[in-house]
């Protein structure tokens, strides 16, 4: 009986020891699985960022899209390693879509004891560029659309009588919000505030904007001075905005405005214009009483849809 009890105690100790080893093994593998999940999430974040950046580059061409994707992937890390992709990892399933493939080898902590010291993690993302039919932050100038080329200088706020697509009392200022979605707020103070801050809500194609009559010279000058003073050294170098203190196309001097049909100038008085499109400009300066901007192409946040718009946006589709 004593021998049996002794053997049983020995068996229990042995079984317990094996069970502990198994438990520790599973616990260790669980740590590695957790590491792999974290790495996978970080790599997916990098792939998403690269795809979105690549899609924004499609405003220009596929070469720019590829360069942006590679650059933005490298700005992200996976387990403290920079995410590196090559041109072969960036593909174009359609003319408006970018797909990015990312791969990363990570070190494992415990799986090495069973012959798995590392693991290969991969992530794929795709993003698409499309038309923005509504966006926020627009400046209070409805500009007549004349189909400009990138880099062309445009009068984005007229300061003289007889400007294209105007009447004797209209110089392009408008009030927000649109008549079809609220009660417009008129007046010089609100107009200047809208130059500085932009519209509070999104403005959409087909919205009806109330005209702000009068030249509004003082408020225009003060608002434009504020925009330029935020980024005084920036300039248009013939192909893009150079020497800006702001990354990308985020300078306060890059503005979004609504467009109206140049064949449909508003009647005199506090009348209305119908928005037919959206566009972006880099504010150069005021020349006399005219506000001059350079037409440019850019991506921005907003509502995707179908319609004429010179603003583009990007979104993840995979």
- Are 100 and 209 members of one domain? no
In a domain, 24, yes or no: yes
Is 62 within the bounds of a domain?
Answer: yes
310 domain-assigned = no
117 plus 141 within the same structural domain = no
Query: pLDDT truncated to tens, each residue of the chain (318 aa)?
Result: 555 445 555 555 555 544 444 444 544 555 667 777 888 899 999 999 999 999 999 988 999 999 999 999 999 998 888 999 999 999 999 999 999 999 988 776 655 545 566 778 899 999 999 999 999 999 999 999 999 999 999 999 999 988 888 888 899 999 999 999 999 999 999 999 999 999 998 999 999 999 999 999 999 999 999 999 999 999 999 989 999 999 888 999 999 999 999 999 888 888 999 999 999 999 999 999 999 999 999 899 999 988 778 899 999 998
Same structural domain for residues 202 and 165? yes
Judge contact between 79 and 150, C-beta under 8 A.
Answer: no
Last residue of a domain, one of 76, 109, 128: 128
Does the CA dihedral 173-175-180-181 come out positive or negative?
A: positive
Whether 287 is covered by a domain: the verdict is yes
Domain boundary among 80, 104, 128: 128
In a shared domain, residues 143 and 278: yes
User: Both 13 and 86 in a single domain?
Assistant: yes
Same domain, yes or no, for 276 and 142? yes
Predicted model pTM: 0.80
Q: Are residues 105 and 146 in the same domain?
A: no
**Is the domain of 119 the same as that of 142?**
no
What is the domain range of residue 38? 2-128
> Which has the closest alpha carbon to 109: 14, 197, 180, 25?
25
Q: What's the total number of domains in the chain?
A: 2
Instruction: Give the separation between CA 233 and CA 235, rounded to whole angstroms.
Output: 7
């Amino acid at each position: 009986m004593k021998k049996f009890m002794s053997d049983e105690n020995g068996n229990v100790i042995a079984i317990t020891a094996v069970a502990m080893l198994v438990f520790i093994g599973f616990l260790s593998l669980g740590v590695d699985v957790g590491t792999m999940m974290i790495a996978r999430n970080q790599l997916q974040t990098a792939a998403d960022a690269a795809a979105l950046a690549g899609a924004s580059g499609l405003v220009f061409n596929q070469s720019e899209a590829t360069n942006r994707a590679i650059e933005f992937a490298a700005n992200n890390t996976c387990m403290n390693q920079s995410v590196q992709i090559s041109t072969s990892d960036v593909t174009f399933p359609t003319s408006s879509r970018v797909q990015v493939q990312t791969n990363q080898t990570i070190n494992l902590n415990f799986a090495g004891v069973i012959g798995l010291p590392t693991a290969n993690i991969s992530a794929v993302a795709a993003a698409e560029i499309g038309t923005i039919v509504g966006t926020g932050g627009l400046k209070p100038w409805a500009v007549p659309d004349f189909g400009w080329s990138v880099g062309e200088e445009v009068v984005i706020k007229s300061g003289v009588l007889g400007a294209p697509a105007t009447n004797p009392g209209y110089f392009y200022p408008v009030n927000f919000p649109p008549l079809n979605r609220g009660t417009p707020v008129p007046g010089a103070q609100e107009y200047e505030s809208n130059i500085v801050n932009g519209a509070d809500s999104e403005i959409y194609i087909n919205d009806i904007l109330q005209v702000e009559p009068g030249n509004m010279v003082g408020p225009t000058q003060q608002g434009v001075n504020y925009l330029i003073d935020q980024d005084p050294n920036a300039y248009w170098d013939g192909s893009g905005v150079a020497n800006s203190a702001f990354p990308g196309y985020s300078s306060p001097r890059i503005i979004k405005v609504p467009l109206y049909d140049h064949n449909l100038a508003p009647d005199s008085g506090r009348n209305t214009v119908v928005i037919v499109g959206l566009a972006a400009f880099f504010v150069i300066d005021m020349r006399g009483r005219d506000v001059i901007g350079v037409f440019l192409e850019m991506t921005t946040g907003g509502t995707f849809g179908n319609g004429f718009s010179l603003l583009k946006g990007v979104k993840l589709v995979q």
